[in-house]
Amino acid sequence: MKRITVIVFIGLIFSINFGLSDKWTRVRRYSHDCHVFKFFQVADSCIYALDQYQHTYLIILKSNDRGITWDTVLQETGLYPGFPTTYYDAAAISEDNILIGAAYGQIKKITDNCQNISLIYPNSVHTTSTNMIKNIEMYDSNFGVATSVNPSFLYKTEDGGESWQKLQPPTTAAIWEMKILQDKTILTLAYDTSPEKSSQSCFLSKDCGETWTKHKIRDGIGETSFFNDKIGWGCGGWPNGVGDQSSDIIMKTTDGGKTWIEIYNQENEPVFGLQDIDFYDENFGVAVGQFGKILRTTDGGDSWVQDSADFDIQDGPPVMTVLCTGPNRALCGGWGGEIFLYDGSTDGVEDSAEQLTKLNLFPNPVKSGAKLNFELSQVLAGQAQIFNLQGMLIDSLYFVGNSIYLPNDIAVGTYFLVIESNGEIIAREKFVVE
């Protein structure tokens, strides 16, 4: 008799599973104290994800199939020089040459298939943990820029990150966003302290950071994504007067950041501002935010679909980063270490999903405490596990045969039954408890 594991996931562990789009698929599960904070794509099929455990230890994940499956290629244990620390941003020069920004004003290089980590700036740790490399961008294999806060500095490299030159930043205020546009223009966003308090400005440099032009823009933009040197989008939030809540805003520029127009301003619950945005081309883009909120557009931002469903805002894990990897394909991740893949095409993850065994559940809907049957070709024995909204185990049931008894206290709602064998999902289906 084959022994397998059956996992029952609550359908609202992450809203995109049962929101307006059914093409989001969880490709990495919840992991306690983890936080996926960055994706970057180095080839059509090769994508990296940077994860952090307990705000300290770095985990690097790699996918060679456009984000469907992930391998851990580095899991830090604190044995490397200068660790532990906290990481904030990264850029890839090549598949085997990654630069990463961290606390203590550090820039580190990761090479040798992610097995070698070296500190390249500064040569000695002489700053505090509050001095953070918040942004790091590479224009090509040689030229790149990084910014830090506490204090605010700007750094430039022209040799692929081997050495860094400190530049005079355009403002004494903290620079929290920086991009290198296609024409090598450096764009930074900051709250300028002069002459008006808390006034957001966009600073542009066309000479690699030697001189800057200042453009006043509307407050609220936190992250940006540019299609070319003119067209870009920014997301963030504006306070709405209710506690620390902020409306979700998206703005667009068509002149390289000099001016921005509002294209989205909504207060669909939960409203705590958007955290990241990315566009693949002029049309397809995704914005993400707190408590599982995901917005998607296919017309350059003229209209947006909210893929996340309404649910208890205390239980939804924040989505903190997004990467569009194709004309209708994206990855997102955040707290809990989960990664979700959107594939709006007819291939990729949708095809792989079709390879799963069809799981017929009955009765469906079902009542709490009742017997839930499932049809598979073989007689099964295994473990039925029920997880809460954040993926934490709340019950575990052993069964023999093709059925399980649901707990008497399971709440009304939509759930997801997943059958695994040897660590691989072989069948899955939704069911409803009424």
Q: Is residue 192 part of a domain?
A: no
Considering its fold, how many domains does the chain have in total? 1
Q: Three-state SS string across 18-40, please? A: HCCCCCEEEEECCCCCEEEEEEE
What pLDDT does 380 receive? 61
Which H or E run contains 420? strand 413-421
What's the pLDDT score for residue 79? 46
Domain membership flag for residue 388: yes
Amino acid 17: pLDDT = 35
**Position 365 in a domain:** yes
- pLDDT score for 49: 93
Per-residue pLDDT, 217: 87
Angle at 115 between CA 114 and CA 116, to 5 degrees: 100
Biggest CA–CA distance in the chain, Å, is 76
The dihedral through the CA atoms of 280, 282, 286, 289 has a sign that is positive
Report if residue 411 sits inside a domain. yes
Residue 328 lies in a domain: no
- What CATH number should be reported for the domain holding residue 386? 2.60.40
Residue showing tokens 């940077």: 50
Task: Assess if residue 222 is contained within a domain.
Answer: no
Q: Does some domain include residue 14?
A: yes
- List C-alpha distances in Å: 63 to 49, 101, 127: 8, 22, 35
Domain hosting residue 373, numbered range? 1-23+346-434
Return d(Cα 137, Cα 130) in angstroms, integer.
21
* pLDDT attached to residue 420: 64
Whether residue 413 lies inside any domain: the answer is yes
Mean pLDDT in each 10-residue stretch from start to end of the chain (434 residues)? 41 34 72 83 89 80 90 73 65 88 86 85 62 87 88 88 88 84 87 60 90 87 92 88 77 95 83 89 92 89 77 54 92 86 60 53 87 70 58 61 82 72 61 82
